[in-house]
Amino acid sequence: MSRRYEYGFIGAGNMAEGIISAAVRNRLFRGSQLAVCDPVEQRRDLMVEKFGVAAVLDNSQLAAEAQRLVIAVKPQSFAEAITPLAGDVRQDQLIVSIMAGVNTARVESLFPQISVRVVRVMPNLPILVGAGVAGICPGRFATGQDVADVQALFEAGGASVVVKDESLIDAVTAVSGSGPAYFYYFVEAMVAGGVACGLSEVEAFKLAAHTCLGAARMMLETGEPPAELRRKVTSKGGTTQAALEAMNLAGVDKAIGEAVLAAFNRARDLGKG
């Protein structure tokens, strides 16, 4: 059956906006090939104005007119938003879920009459600026082409990693889903340190932000391990060594590892409902 839209987004929040922005900006799809459905009129209007997508007022209509559905609602709204679609989703449709803590089996269970194809994705917020990274995992009935299609969608906004074991999505959540917040926390601390040394907050922020950007680009473009790059920056008896020794004494590495583990365990708890 021919569908009007390539992707229909149930929910038009920040993450949906980032995905749509990347797809349109990189000409993966025209705005007219995408549609959104959201109960908040301002969000619908924003998507229409910024990207030229269609706004649909009813999830059932969206399911009828979109080849692929992206479930971009909060996990606690999942059943309320999706259960009414049980009779609308068809065998030829792909469901892409970006809901944290909701596994593919739970999505599949809402459509017992068909072998519904589901791909679960854990993106992160930098997709809004084309620098996101997403963990992707296929459900029981998803095909290789489904995974390739979803990769293309999310790599328009950055990069992706495909995992076959869905339990690893919790690890993806802990590392990259929550990871931007760890980074912002670190930058806040760097700025505070710079201010303590006499810089203005504006000066310290610009220095810290560009330093982090440059360090990340260097790591990605050279392909060198972070430990090796760290060694290149660290001169014996120099300023960097003094800073790293202070971090080691404070147990910064252990605290970061424990933070990732805490996020991982919380993701698992959320997945248990």
Compute the distance between CA of residue 54 and CA of residue 8 in angstroms, rounded to an integer.
9
Task: Give the C-alpha distances (Å, rounded to integers) separating 157 from 20, 21, 127.
Answer: 9, 8, 5
- Are residues 89 and 30 part of one domain? yes
**Least confident interval from 81-95, 168-182, 194-208, 235-249:** 81-95
Of 150, 152, 154, 151, nearest in space to 127 by CA: 154
- Are residues 112 and 46 part of one domain? yes
Quote the pLDDT of residue 244. 96
Tell me whether residue 174 is in a domain. Answer: no
Quote the pLDDT of residue 268. 85
Mean pLDDT, all residues of the chain: 93
User: Is a pLDDT exceeding 80 seen at residue 51?
Assistant: yes
> What's 73's DSSP letter?
S
- Are residues 205 and 113 part of one domain? no
User: Is a pLDDT exceeding 90 seen at residue 199?
Assistant: yes
Q: What's the whole-number mean pLDDT along residues 126-154?
A: 96
- Are residues 136 and 185 part of one domain? no
Q: What is the pTM of this model?
A: 0.89
Give the β-pairing of 117-122 and 132-138: antiparallel
List pLDDT tens digits, range 70-118. 999 988 888 888 888 888 888 889 999 998 888 999 999 988 888 999 9
- Are residues 261 and 161 part of one domain? no
The Cβ of residue 164 has, within 10 Å, a number of other Cβ atoms equal to 8
Compute the distance between CA of residue 229 and CA of residue 242 in angstroms, rounded to an integer.
17
* Residue entry with tokens 């293309």: 152
Tell me whether residue 129 is in a domain. Answer: yes
User: Is a pLDDT exceeding 80 seen at residue 1?
Assistant: no
- Are residues 184 and 149 part of one domain? no
Quote the pLDDT of residue 273. 63
User: Is a pLDDT exceeding 80 seen at residue 140?
Assistant: yes
Look at residues 169, 192, 212 and tell me which one is the last residue of a structural domain: 169
- Are residues 163 and 44 part of one domain? yes
Residue-wise DSSP of 20-34:
HHHHHHTTSS-GGGE
Quote the pLDDT of residue 163. 95
Look at residues 120, 135, 169 and tell me which one is the last residue of a structural domain: 169
Give me the CATH number covering residue 215.
Answer: 1.10.3730.10
How buried is 142 (Cβ within 10 angstroms: 0-12 exposed, 13-18 middle, 19+ buried)? buried
Give me the CATH number covering residue 27.
Answer: 3.40.50.720
- Are residues 31 and 118 part of one domain? yes
Helix (H) or strand (E) holding 71: strand 66-71
Q: Structural domain tally of the chain?
A: 2
Q: What's the whole-number mean pLDDT along residues 63-73?
A: 94
Of 71, 267, 98, 97, nearest in space to 178 by CA: 267
- Are residues 233 and 139 part of one domain? no
- Are residues 263 and 191 part of one domain? yes
Task: Give the C-alpha distances (Å, rounded to integers) separating 26 from 55, 152, 207.
Answer: 21, 11, 30
Q: In what order do the strands lie in the sheet with 34-37?
A: 54-55, 34-37, 5-10, 66-71, 94-97, 117-122, 132-138, 158-162
User: Is a pLDDT exceeding 80 seen at residue 208?
Assistant: yes
